[in-house]
C-alpha cells in the first residue's frame, strides 16, 4: 500500500475556462430603480423609513441577482453550465453562433430536449453536443460573452 495520495486528492482542480453570465448595465439600473421605489412608497411615513426600504430592497435584489447568475466552468474532467454538469468525455461537437444564426438556434432551430442556459442580454450562443447514450439531451445551448474562448476550452485548444 502506498502512503502517497493521488494528485487529484491533494491538488485543487483548476478551471480551463470560467465565465459568469452577469446582467448587462440595464439590469443593474433596473435593480436600482426598483429599490428607489421603496423611497416613494415609504416616504409618506418618514424619510428614514423610505431610505431604509431603499437599502433593504437594494441588498435583497443584489443578493438574488448575484446568487442566481449562472456560471460556465470548464475543467479537464467536467463541464458545468448553470446547475447542469457533465463529464467532458460526453462532450461532442461545439459550434459558435452569432447574429441571426444565434437567434435561430434559440428559436426555430431549437430542439425541445436541449438544455438551455440563455440570457437575453448576451447575444452569442455556444451549442455543445452531448454524446452520453444514457442522456436524452441532444445538446446544451448557452449564452456566452466569449464564445470563442469557451469553444477553445471545450475543444482542448492550448492544453498540454
Q: How confident is the model over 81-93, as a mean pLDDT?
A: 95
> Residue 15: its pLDDT value, please?
72
pLDDT digits (tens, 9 = 90+) for 118-152: 999 999 999 999 999 999 999 999 999 999 999 99
Biggest alpha carbon–alpha carbon distance for the chain: 75
Domain boundaries, the chain: 23-68, 72-155
* pLDDT band per the 50, 70, 90 thresholds, residue 13: low
pTM beyond cutoff 0.85 = no
Contacts 24+ apart (CB under 8 A), 75-83: 75/13, 75/14, 75/15, 75/16, 76/13, 76/16, 76/159, 77/13, 79/128, 79/154, 81/115, 81/117, 81/128, 81/140, 81/142, 82/117, 82/142
For residue 114, pLDDT over 70 is answered with yes
Amino acid at each position: 500500500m502506498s502512503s502517497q495520495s493521488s494528485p487529484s486528492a491533494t491538488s485543487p482542480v483548476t478551471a480551463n475556462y470560467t465565465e459568469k453570465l452577469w446582467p448587462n448595465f440595464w439590469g443593474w439600473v433596473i435593480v436600482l430603480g426598483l429599490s428607489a421605489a421603496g423611497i416613494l412608497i415609504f416616504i409618506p411615513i418618514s424619510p428614514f423609513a423610505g431610505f431604509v426600504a431603499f437599502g433593504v430592497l437594494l441588498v435583497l435584489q443584489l443578493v438574488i441577482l448575484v446568487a442566481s447568475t449562472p456560471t460556465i466552468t470548464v475543467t479537464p474532467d467536467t463541464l458545468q453550465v448553470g446547475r447542469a454538469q457533465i463529464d467532458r468525455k460526453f462532450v461532442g461537437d461545439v459550434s459558435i453562433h452569432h447574429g441571426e444564426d444565434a437567434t435561430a438556434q434559440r428559436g426555430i432551430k431549437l430542439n425541445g430536449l436541449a438544455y438551455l442556459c440563455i440570457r437575453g442580454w448576451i447575444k452569442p450562443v455556444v451549442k455543445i453536443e452531448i454524446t452520453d447514450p444514457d442522456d436524452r439531451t441532444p445538446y446544451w445551448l448557452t449564452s456566452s460573452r466569449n464564445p470563442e474562448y469557451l469553444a477553445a476550452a471545450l475543444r482542448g485548444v492550448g492544453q498540454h
